[in-house]
Structure 1
Amino acid sequence: MPLGEAWLDQALAGGLRADGLHEFHAADRIDSVAALGFALLVARLRQDLDGRPLIWARQDDAVGRPYGPGLVELGLDPDAVTLLMLQDGKALLRAGLDCVRDGAAAVVLLELHGRQPLLDLTATRRLALAGAASATMVLLARSQAPPVPSAAHTRWQVAAAPSLPLPAEAPGHPAFALTLLRRRGGGEGLSITLEWNRDTVSFREAAPLPRAVPAVAAGGTDDRLRQGTG
């Protein structure tokens, strides 16, 4: 599945594996929404090619709640998203695996915060094998936890990046600083800042910021996802 930036897709041998397992780790605690936002946009790309809905699983104690108008601003259709709220990490992983095996969704996104002892090599191997069997992409959005050994096809570090303001100083396109931490087949260490264009439903490499232009962190991604949070 291509991301839209030609040289990056070439470096990834065409893009991300469409039926694979991919991890997105927040670079810092403040980047948790950036990691989640990037995972959601990858899911949007997969939906555009596949047509099946997105299943998004998160814990009851997760910070904030999804905000429909904000999702629309990012280019996601809330009607094509099934949200699961689970009691804890164990219930989330169990429900997530069942969803992947079922094959009703194009993407199953598991949002996980903090250390998850049950998310080990065996658990991720089950998710990867189930995704391959059902042609389902599996995404893990992680924050406040170090990477651990897993069967993921790719693992990325994600941070919010500055973006160019639009005319009239409107918030710019969401931008993400990415580092490839692991990939089957090599390529670790690759770094790029991508900008999301909801109109073309694709990423592109972000242009350098002119020194005189003030930065708008991540194009307002945090605000779009966290509105409605108490």
Structure 2
Amino acid sequence: MIESARTLTALKRRIASLESRGAAHHAHFSFGHAPIDRVLGGGLARGRVHEFFAGEGGEAAATGLSLILAHLAGPEATTLWLRPATAAHQGAPYGPGLAALGIDPAHLLLGAMSDEAMLLRAAVEALRCPALGALLLEIRGRAPRLDLTASRRLTLAAEQSGVTALLLRTDADPTPSAADTRWRVAAAPSTPLPGNAPGMSAFDLTLLRHRGGRDGMAWRLTWDSERRQFGDGRDERDDHGRHEGGRDGGAPLSRPALSLPAVRPAADRAA
């Protein structure tokens, strides 16, 4: 507990150092994918909480997508990634992997907390800093402390500062919360580039809940790291355009997407 308190104190000092930088906030930030942006009224709402649940075997995909969205929320600002200490011990972000996704590792600040209560407390404190581009809060398992009251605290802090909170949920099922949107994320096959080079990272994304809006829709997204947006109309497949067999008549999807290299086990990093 003493070590956790020291970590939280150090995190508060780092957050305070960012406050003087300021950050411009707008109502939404765009996916760059017209169908999703249209359904959401322009993109993901800033200053709100959005939940992303990893589908079966989709932890890497959900992590990668969450990091990409945090980057889109504040491309030039700092993203704070708060994680359980147990997850941090299993692996840390891999710089070249982040760069491959178009994310500058210098804009990523990490915080590891020893227990769930400290993790949620740190998240509320972080969301009060308007200079953050986004908060990525990683929660594993059932997380009994992340109840409706706790999610409302996060939402209130996000609304007051304008900072977007992205909750990365793994090994968990959705429960009632104050989140503005809720999604399920899974890895998807990618189409190879010319010369049979590996294709762009791809995701199957399902909108489970949209407060005050439509939900229940699903899309297949590809992330164009050079253009910093999701697809351009040639690569995506959405559920409303698929023919029998799950394809839309275009070129077949050839192979699973590249595993998103945002997190690399310590053993791999040492190799």
What's the TM-score once normalised by structure 1's chain length? 0.92
Question: d(CA) in 2 for partners of 1:225 and 1:4?
Answer: 21
1:53 aligned to which of 53, 70, 78? 78
Query: Equivalent residue of 2:100, what SS?
Result: helix
Which residue does 2:214 correspond to in 1?
187
Alpha-carbon shift at residue 104 of structure 1 (Å)? 2.9
2:103 aligned to which of 66, 69, 76? 76
- Give the partner amino acid of 1:11: V
Percent identical:
43
Alpha-carbon shift at residue 85 of structure 1 (Å)? 1.2
2:259 aligned to which of 205, 220, 227? 220
Larger relative CO (CA 8 A, sep 6+): 1 or 2? 1
Query: Equivalent residue of 1:91, what SS?
Result: helix
Which residue does 2:68 correspond to in 1?
41
Alpha-carbon shift at residue 206 of structure 1 (Å)? 1.8
Which residue does 1:3 correspond to in 2?
31
Given that 1:106 and 1:135 are in contact with CA atoms closer than 8 Å, whether structure 2 keeps it comes out as no
- Give the partner amino acid of 1:172: G
Which residue does 1:210 correspond to in 2?
251
Given that 2:138 and 2:167 are in contact with CA atoms closer than 8 Å, whether structure 1 keeps it comes out as yes
| Residue 151 of structure 2 corresponds to residue 124 of structure 1 | yes
Given that 1:71 and 1:77 are in contact with CA atoms closer than 8 Å, whether structure 2 keeps it comes out as yes
Q: CA RMSD in A?
A: 1.5
Q: How does 1:76-95 map to 2 (within 5 A)?
A: 76-95=103-122
1:110 aligned to which of 132, 137, 145? 137
Query: Equivalent residue of 2:32, what SS?
Result: coil
Question: d(CA) in 1 for partners of 2:263 and 2:215?
Answer: 31
Which residue does 1:137 correspond to in 2?
164
Question: d(CA) in 2 for partners of 1:165 and 1:157?
Answer: 25
Distance of aligned partners of 1:127 and 1:161 in 2 relative to their CA distance in 1, 3 Å threshold: same
Question: d(CA) in 2 for partners of 1:40 and 1:227?
Answer: 14
Given that 2:80 and 2:136 are in contact with CA atoms closer than 8 Å, whether structure 1 keeps it comes out as yes
Question: d(CA) in 1 for partners of 2:69 and 2:262?
Answer: 15
| Residue 177 of structure 2 corresponds to residue 177 of structure 1 | no
Given that 2:200 and 2:222 are in contact with CA atoms closer than 8 Å, whether structure 1 keeps it comes out as yes
Question: d(CA) in 2 for partners of 1:77 and 1:22?
Answer: 22
List alignment gaps of at least 5 residues for structure 1. Answer: none
| Residue 185 of structure 2 corresponds to residue 158 of structure 1 | yes
Comparing 183-192 and 154-163, the one that deviates more: 183-192
Alpha-carbon shift at residue 20 of structure 1 (Å)? 1.1
- Give the partner amino acid of 1:69: P
Alpha-carbon shift at residue 98 of structure 1 (Å)? 0.5
List alignment gaps of at least 5 residues for structure 2. Answer: 1-28, 238-246
Given that 1:34 and 1:218 are in contact with CA atoms closer than 8 Å, whether structure 2 keeps it comes out as no
Alpha-carbon shift at residue 228 of structure 1 (Å)? 4.3
Question: d(CA) in 2 for partners of 1:102 and 1:44?
Answer: 17
Alpha-carbon shift at residue 169 of structure 1 (Å)? 2.6
Query: Equivalent residue of 1:227, what SS?
Result: strand
